[in-house]
Copies of this chain bind each other. A is one copy, B any other.
């Protein structure tokens, strides 16, 4: 601790202080100390200690191309859906001794593209694009081209929740989950059921909507456009959509929110209006985010094993694929959606 170092400490500084060559210092630091005497060894370690030397990761990566980080591109980590997903991703990454770089695209396709480039530039070992795809074929093509170039160079790709993108994939049962929601509500006898949907451009919206429509169809019911409201996948989006829907058609008896965050917003809006849930209007969500059970009434929703999905995706990304497989054949894992019945849905008022 004697003399405080100034400026960046480099390997050469350590070597000089230990009075050895950089080669020797490097060997000691990297554990390839087979050919180094104990005396030199300790001298080097002491120097490292005193100078608080940390090797320059960039130089290391250049010299020995060994990719250490992995990247995930999510819409927004502070959204509980992605927070849970990330937790699973992180766990596996950590188990593999990998650093997880988290990128928030805020649902901006351009930013998503930029992040792929950035992660590519960082030489990450794997990229995990998580979250909905976009109905935008130009973008999708671009995105795929970028990803393919990355794979070409040895990068691994595992996608969560998209089906339009190259690479291994973990695909949640969006359509099926929404179908379950529909059958639940129609089964309870609801006739005027409205849907609070996320942005139109997102494939998640489309997929889930399709599930609801299938259920409606099966029950011989309609889901006219006026009963569908598109808004942000956010609490406030859910709230304003609910208000809007109710203003247009006060006779509604059930609302299907296409994610929990929106459902929470809807709940808040209804409470403010003095509409009793589920006595007057039933509300259901999707995702089974942690807070779903803590709002009042507790949310009937579709459980997606979010952490598990993250775990699986990162495993796909990091476990080398079976070399016997056709390299171009991506592995796809479907995860089942199941309904969680809580207090927010009941029979329609009569």
Contact = CB atoms under 8 A, between A and B. Distances in A.
B7 A154 contact: yes
A122 B60 CA distance: 10
A202 B101 CA distance: 26
A52 B62 CA distance: 20
Nearest to A51: B149
Contact of A4 (B52, B87, B152, B268): B152
Interface in A255-306: 264, 267-268, 290-291, 293-296
Contact of A149 (B5, B84, B118): B5
Interface residues of A, number: 54
A59 B65 CA distance: 11
A39 interface: no
Contacts of A20: none
Given A62-B59, A120-B54, A291-B294, A149 B9 contact: yes
A123 interface: yes
Contact of A121 (B56, B121, B153): B56
Contacts of A103: 99
* Residue with the highest number of chain B CB atoms closer than 10 Å, among A52, A59, A86: A52
A296 B295 contact: yes
A90 interface: yes
Interface in A230-260: 235
Interface string A101-130: 111100000000000011011110000000
B56 A7 contact: no
Interface stretch (A75-83, A168-176, A214-222): A75-83
Interface of A: 4-9, 51-52, 54-62, 76-78, 80, 83-84, 86-87, 90, 99-104, 117-118, 120-123, 145-146, 149, 152-154, 235, 264, 267-268, 290-291, 293-296
